[in-house]
Structure 1
Amino acid sequence: MNNDANWADDVNEPKPVNPRLLPAEFFEEREAHRRIRQAAHAINRSADVAFAGVLARLSALMPPDRPADTGVGSPASMNTFVALLGPSGSGKSSSKRVPRFLVPTPHDANIMEYLPLGTGEGIAEAYMGEVEITEGGDGRGKGRTKTVREQVRGNALFYADEGERLIKTMFGRSGTTIGETLRTAWTGDTIGQFNGQKINTRVIEEGTYSMGMIIGFQPETALPLFDDAAAGTPQRFLWFSTLDTTLPNEPPEWPPPLQLPLLADKLRNAQITFADTIRKELRVEDRARVTGETIPAPLDSHRPLTLVKTSVLLAVLENRANVTAADWELAKIVWDTSCRVRDALVEEAARQRSQEEEQRTKQHVDRAVRAHKAVTSTERNVVRVARRVSTRVHESGGMTLGAVRKDLASRDRGCLTDALDFAEAQGWIDPSADKILPGSSRPS
């Protein structure tokens, strides 16, 4: 009986904390967070993936004319990109289902949702459309109507269940377009292309668009993205693990959707503000960077801007436009967890490269050893044949080259020339014009 009780105690022990997952206290902190986790666990999926999907969806629904001004640098766009890291079949698609239900699309929103990722031109095209305009007229309302292409929407959400295609596109012939567009869109600057022909012109100006992006990666397909770290591409993503070790044995009930009247109202009467402590922290950190007092690690270069974006979205989840110190601390938890997921991937890549390099070194050494053995074996054969030939020459008082060759086994005739050179150098034989004579010494 005691053994059974002990066994039960072991089973009910709390699961060890997974540092690559958002901690339990993060989800317990707020009702919106609890509801996101509940919805994910109700369908047996990762809470972190669902939360990542909510962040990206919120950023896509944000009004583009409400940037976040912290007093440091330019006002920040809320455009947010999330990367979901895990093996195939680990539930990346829950980043669509849960957010779509919990954060319904406002009835008057003009948004393209969950668009596939293709090229940089395609990203800009998502905001374009055709409209009819009337030109000329005689003052009585008559004129010529024509169709033109221009920006017709300001919101778009992109989704790729597997990022392998994106990686191939980025590092293919058209890669400069998609890579540059991603980096520019994340900061909210003008994207698109201006060409001589109107059909190929797509210019989406700064401050006129909002964007969210969700990309799923298997670890091996995500690694090439870090080859673009110098340009700043992987730094623009928040990284989340799709493997949730906190899934309960029994699924909870499906929760009701979130009520976000502030978002539905497009923040019309709200201005995004930040607590003074946040503004001061950002200013101090920014000054240290500008003066060169601190140099951030390459992959952490966008930490301040990422925290700004994340903290604003966390506030909006609470139906607030004022970012508090509590929002800021929760954003830091998101950032720190993202870094641990990202760094684990980078460390695994380094380990794999080390193993591959070690394997290449071993193969090189093995080849060198085999080559050395082959040379040593050849040298032994030369010495052996030289000794045999010299002994026979001394015994017979001299032999012709033909007689020496005939006296050898066929396997040894290939090294006869080298053997005669070696024997002569040792003084064992004395080649003459027509005969090989005994030398001043003989093999011992």
Structure 2
Amino acid sequence: MMDTSYNDMDAALAGLSAASDGPTFAQVKALARAGFHVLLIKPGTKEPVDLRTDRERAHDARTGRGGSGLYSSTNRVDRLENLWDRAVAKFGQEPNVAVDVERSGLVVIDADQADETADVQRRGLAGADAPLEAYAPTVTTPGAQDAAGKWVHSGGGHFHFAVDVEDLPLVKSFKLPGGAEVSTKDRYVLIPPSVRNEGPYTVTGHVRPLSSAPWLIDLIRAQAETDEADTTARAQAAQDRTQRRESEGPSSVEAWNDAHPWEELLLEHDWTPTGKPDNCGCPIVTAPGDHASPKSATAHEDGCTNRRVDLEGASGPLHIWTDHPPVELEGRERWTKAQFVAAMRGQTMEEFLVAEGLVDDEVDPAAMAFAVNGEAGGKGPVVRDLTVDEEEAFWASSAALERVRQFAWSRSASPWSVLGVVLCEVVARVPPHVVLPPIVGGAASLNLFVNLVGASGEGKGKSVATAEDLTSGLSYAAHKGIGSGEGITKTFGVRKKGSQVTLRVRDRAVVDSPEVDTLTAVAERKASTILGQLRKAWSGEDLSFNNADESRSPEVPKHSYRLALHVGVQPGRARALFEDADGGTPQRFLWLSTLDPLIPDADVPEPPPLDLAHIEKRWPTDPFLTGEALLFADDEEEEESTPRRDDGVLRKPTTFEVLEVAQPIRDTIRRNDKAKHWRKATDSALDGHRGLQRLKVAAALSLLEGGTGNVTVDHWDRAELVLRRSDAVRAQVQGVLQDQDRKAAEARAKRNAEAEVAKDRATQGLKLAQTRKRVHKVLGKPEHADGLPLGKLRAEVGSAYRDHINETVDFLVEAGELVEVPGGKAPKYRLVGTA
């Protein structure tokens, strides 16, 4: 808890509002005396400057504050005065000013955009009859422009809350559902009268006591619980990695990482070390060329304390901060060592792995398409699953995704499988005339299929129920069970007996198959069309089928229906889907697990359901299209129950609403498609539809996150993480099936071997019986009554029996049918009872 009252801080900030020519030291002194810990910022920027002497820095280091940036903040007036004078001397003008959030005893909400500001205001005024302006930001920020002068942030502000409650946990920054960011530590914010090129920071509101925002306190405490669970999961993941490396040794890529520190790789490509560490202790480096800030990137290595860095073989990522990295590195913030070197060389990852000798150059490229870190996703094909940090970054990338994970955890369900069903529910509310653009071929449907993968009793039903509650605010959409191929068609259109006109039943539906056995049982029926119809439905193609009676053959035209499908899949029961890989069935599904090893031990508070009103607002529900008001039931024998306002005929749409897709994504899709023509693509057979699948998921994420379905690069990048998780789960299912195949082959081999042994024994027994009979015949002759030596006995029995004579004689002696008679150079053998 802070030592000074929020009234002192509020008064100190209010005293800044009259300034117009930048900060003065008198104002800074007032801030420090009110309890703010101040740090100085380079004039016109947000870049902190550390003007402490070596002696001052060494003194601070002994108290754990030897770093730069935030570590230079202080509320000592005498030190601030010295630092201020040094800054004015260095820059020839007064510096900008910021405050250290944690040391000042603050919680700060940073809203970058006007809608984020309004979201915080609505939360602060919940239950009060007051305009939003009554809950103004403490500080209104000037916004931000890109290099071309376009405003990328505007209408934002900082809401300051003085901590006046006991035992408030310090948590990492997190975002509110509306997009604003909450910070309690490791953060500084600029305050008035600081000025940047875009304009000044101005005081427009008050410093509020945190106790006045119980909603914010609850969110902070919930985040603390999530952080604790995350810390435990990371520690376990690190321990597992260490144990694996100790027992199995490093993988080839890990060994390469160990042997190539970031300093070596970066210097080779003209990056420059700044000599300064980031807060985690890893070096800050500057990219080639001119940059406004020397902090172009942070090169994370072994021993890094950054929570968001996942170490593999002493290799954390290179985290790019600059907006102007080398062109080879544009479009991505984090690069592993292997990815960095491959990109700088202009190589694909496969080419890099082969060039470095990390894989055999005869390995099928498709088998290593995702082997960036040399790790396998289970016993199936080599697939790079998400690291813990990549998964954390995915869920933290939007307020809606954070809500999905928290809601799933509150119900003890897997966030991934819940997300799969949520995406189905969202897509099912989008009319079928809304399509993806014809980037390659024709316009593409948003229809989406998801496999929820888990053993019996591992949460498929729980995931569906959780997702339905999470999306309870959505309008009506029919939910149907799986049936035949004809049944899929009749979900959307039927014909009355004697008619050749297809009547519309509905234009959107969610189909649920709790067990994959139901789907595969239908597929295995003679002349079944279910898998073929599903493949066409995923693509939004015509769903017509032939029947001798045309009145029983409804025609459902292309893009006249919306279908979302989720199927419960037990890994060992998925064989029929993979056997249809040539037809393209497994490729059209997302594969998401119903188990989540990162689920916290402690109970997670349940947040409110998702706010998806924007979907209904954009595409209002028409009960005559969704099937909520049916012309007739699915049973075509029933009579009409509700009159239509149109003729009810199902027709192909004549106008379409085409979603927008960012140009870089279009370029990537076209480039990948051309690679197939040039036979340079490395996709495996199971990834033939990966680009379109990724585009569908990106559009669904856009809708989930409050967008219009238009796909940005951010949505495209997040969709890639979903597909990487899907690839890994699918590979694990393949591993289970391969393990079944191996065990079955071993069992067959064992049965065959046992049969061969039995057959051999039977053959041997027959030969022995025949030889025994021959020995009795030979030795039963009167002239051999005194017996025969073994050599002569062998000659007498004949060639057909000689191979078994030794063991037959031994057996007959042991059985008491022959007796050995000593004499001469070799003993003789005669029948018992003869002389």
Q: Which TM-score band applies after superposition, normalised by the shorter structure?
A: 0.7 to 0.9
1-structure distance, mates of 2:574, 2:800: 65
Check if 1:63 corresponds to 2:437.
no
Contact 1:241 1:341 in 2 (8 A): yes
How far did residue 72 of structure 1 move? 2.0
Residue type of the partner of 1:112?
Answer: A
Matches within 5 A, 1:297-316: 297-316=684-703
Q: Describe the SS at the equivalent of 1:363.
A: helix
* CA offset digits 1:377-405 (Å, max 9, x no partner): 3323433443343233154679xxxxxxx
Residue type of the partner of 2:515?
Answer: E
Residue type of the partner of 1:101?
Answer: D
Check if 1:112 corresponds to 2:478.
yes
Unaligned runs of 5+ in 1: 1-9, 132-145, 399-418, 429-441
How far did residue 185 of structure 1 move? 0.1
Contact 1:170 1:179 in 2 (8 A): yes
Contact 1:49 1:94 in 2 (8 A): no
Check if 1:219 corresponds to 2:571.
yes
If each structure's helix is expressed as a fraction of its own residues, which one has the higher value?
1
Residue type of the partner of 2:503?
Answer: E
2-structure distance, mates of 1:98, 1:427: 78
Aligned to 1:347: 735
Cα 1:425–1:323 shift into 2, 3 Å: closer
Matches within 5 A, 1:288-327: 288-294=675-681, 296-321=683-708, 322-327=710-715
Contact 2:449 2:566 in 1 (8 A): yes
Aligned to 1:376: 764
Aligned to 1:272: 659
Q: Describe the SS at the equivalent of 1:213.
A: strand
How far did residue 251 of structure 1 move? 2.2
Aligned to 1:238: 590
Contact 1:119 1:169 in 2 (8 A): yes
Contact 1:70 1:273 in 2 (8 A): no
* CA offset digits 1:202-258 (Å, max 9, x no partner): 221112111100100112221221111111111110001111112212222222122
* TM-score, normalised with respect to structure 1: 0.78
Contact 1:32 1:318 in 2 (8 A): yes
Check if 1:53 corresponds to 2:421.
yes
How far did residue 199 of structure 1 move? 4.6
Contact 1:193 1:200 in 2 (8 A): no
Aligned length: 384
Contact 2:701 2:719 in 1 (8 A): yes
Aligned to 2:538: 186
Contact 1:79 1:186 in 2 (8 A): yes
Aligned to 1:128: 493
Q: Describe the SS at the equivalent of 1:44.
A: coil
Check if 1:163 corresponds to 2:516.
yes
Aligned to 1:363: 751
From 718, 729, 736, the counterpart of 1:330: 718
Cα 1:221–1:85 shift into 2, 3 Å: same
Cα 1:286–1:389 shift into 2, 3 Å: same
* CA offset digits 1:350-376 (Å, max 9, x no partner): 122122112211221222122222322
Residue type of the partner of 1:232?
Answer: G
Cα 1:13–1:208 shift into 2, 3 Å: closer
Which shifted more, 196-205 or 254-263?
Answer: 196-205
How far did residue 273 of structure 1 move? 1.0
Aligned to 2:248: none
Q: Describe the SS at the equivalent of 1:239.
A: strand
2-structure distance, mates of 1:427, 1:62: 85
* CA offset digits 1:40-83 (Å, max 9, x no partner): 11111111111010111122111211101152221110000000
From 73, 76, 92, the counterpart of 2:441: 73
Q: Describe the SS at the equivalent of 1:15.
A: helix
Cα 1:85–1:194 shift into 2, 3 Å: same
Cα 1:43–1:427 shift into 2, 3 Å: closer
Q: Describe the SS at the equivalent of 1:81.
A: strand
Check if 1:209 corresponds to 2:209.
no
> What fraction of aligned residue pairs are identical, expressed as a percent?
27
2-structure distance, mates of 1:105, 1:11: 34
Aligned to 1:137: none
Contact 1:387 1:423 in 2 (8 A): yes
Contact 2:495 2:554 in 1 (8 A): no
Aligned to 2:461: 93
Contact 2:495 2:553 in 1 (8 A): no
Contact 2:511 2:565 in 1 (8 A): yes
Residue type of the partner of 1:72?
Answer: V
Aligned to 1:423: 797
2-structure distance, mates of 1:380, 1:60: 76
Which shifted more, 199-208 or 84-93?
Answer: 199-208
Contact 2:778 2:784 in 1 (8 A): no
* CA offset digits 1:307-348 (Å, max 9, x no partner): 110111111112223311111111111111111111111122
Cα 1:105–1:13 shift into 2, 3 Å: closer
Aligned to 2:125: none
How far did residue 128 of structure 1 move? 3.0
1-structure distance, mates of 2:524, 2:698: 33
2-structure distance, mates of 1:317, 1:34: 11
2-structure distance, mates of 1:129, 1:427: 80
How far did residue 189 of structure 1 move? 0.6
Cα 1:42–1:169 shift into 2, 3 Å: same
Aligned to 1:135: none
Aligned to 1:389: 777
2-structure distance, mates of 1:424, 1:281: 82
Residue type of the partner of 1:360?
Answer: R
Cα 1:422–1:277 shift into 2, 3 Å: farther
Cα 1:75–1:379 shift into 2, 3 Å: same
Cα 1:290–1:265 shift into 2, 3 Å: farther
Aligned to 1:32: 400
Contact 1:62 1:266 in 2 (8 A): no
Cα 1:195–1:349 shift into 2, 3 Å: closer
Residue type of the partner of 1:78?
Answer: L
Cα 1:369–1:201 shift into 2, 3 Å: closer
How far did residue 174 of structure 1 move? 4.5
**What value does the CA root-mean-square deviation take over the aligned residues?**
3.3
Unaligned runs of 5+ in 2: 1-230, 239-376, 378-384, 621-655, 787-792, 803-826, 830-835
How far did residue 149 of structure 1 move? 5.7
1-structure distance, mates of 2:432, 2:609: 24
Cα 1:105–1:290 shift into 2, 3 Å: farther
Contact 2:502 2:556 in 1 (8 A): no
Check if 1:16 corresponds to 2:237.
yes
2-structure distance, mates of 1:119, 1:324: 37
* TM-score, normalised with respect to structure 2: 0.43
2-structure distance, mates of 1:265, 1:420: 101
Q: Describe the SS at the equivalent of 1:255.
A: coil
Aligned to 2:635: none
Matches within 5 A, 1:133-152: 150-152=503-505
Q: Describe the SS at the equivalent of 1:118.
A: coil
How far did residue 38 of structure 1 move? 1.2
